[in-house]
Structure 1
Amino acid sequence: MAIMTVLSVAKVPQLSFLLIVAFLSLSLGGSLLIGESVQASSLKLQALSTGGPIGTLSLVIFHKVIGQAVTHFRLLHV
């Protein structure tokens, strides 16, 4: 939803917007179907499949968002 909002505000042409939205919807739907069909019987496999995205999200938040904000703003504001 965040990507679609940014595209809408950026005044992307309507055909491009619809193609991007369709691609995002299909990829999300496909991921959900794959996730539902794979039955993780192992607790280690469940931990790995949950820990990977959490680690990636943490890296993006701390390194990219907060780390680059410190270089542009004062530390007190960050």
Structure 2
Amino acid sequence: MAIVTILSVAKVTQLSFLLIVAFLSLSLGGSLLIGESVQASSLKLQALSTRGAIGTLSFVIFHEVIG
């Protein structure tokens, strides 16, 4: 929601705005489908997913704070 709000306020062309929103929708929807299809009983896969999420979130936080 924040990204779409910023894009709507910024001077982005309508075609670019629609392409970015479509890309975000497809990537989030695809992630949801992949997450639903993965078996919850695999602890190693859950651990890797959690580590990846925490690592990505940490990178973004530090990049935004330092940047």
Tell me the TM-score normalized by structure 1: 0.72
Which sits farther off after the overlay, 41-50 or 29-38? 41-50
Q: Which residues of 2 match residues 1-78 of structure 1 at below 5 A?
A: 1-62=1-62, 64-68=63-67
Q: Quote the offset at 1:45 in angstroms.
A: 1.8
Report which structure shows greater RCO (CA 8 Å, sep ≥6): 2
Q: Quote the offset at 1:22 in angstroms.
A: 1.2
Higher helix share: 2
Q: Which structure has the larger Rg over C-alpha atoms?
A: 1
Instruction: Give the Cα–Cα distance (whole angstroms) in 2 for the partners of residues 20 and 42 of structure 1.
Output: 34
Q: Quote the offset at 1:49 in angstroms.
A: 0.7
Query: Hey, which bits of structure 1, 4+ residues long, moved more than 4 A?
Result: none
Number of aligned positions between the proteins: 67
Paired-residue identity, %: 84
Q: Quote the offset at 1:44 in angstroms.
A: 2.3
Where do 5+ consecutive residues of structure 1 fail to align? Answer: 69-78
Query: What's the Cα RMSD here?
Result: 1.5
Where do 5+ consecutive residues of structure 2 fail to align? Answer: none
Q: Quote the offset at 1:40 in angstroms.
A: 3.5
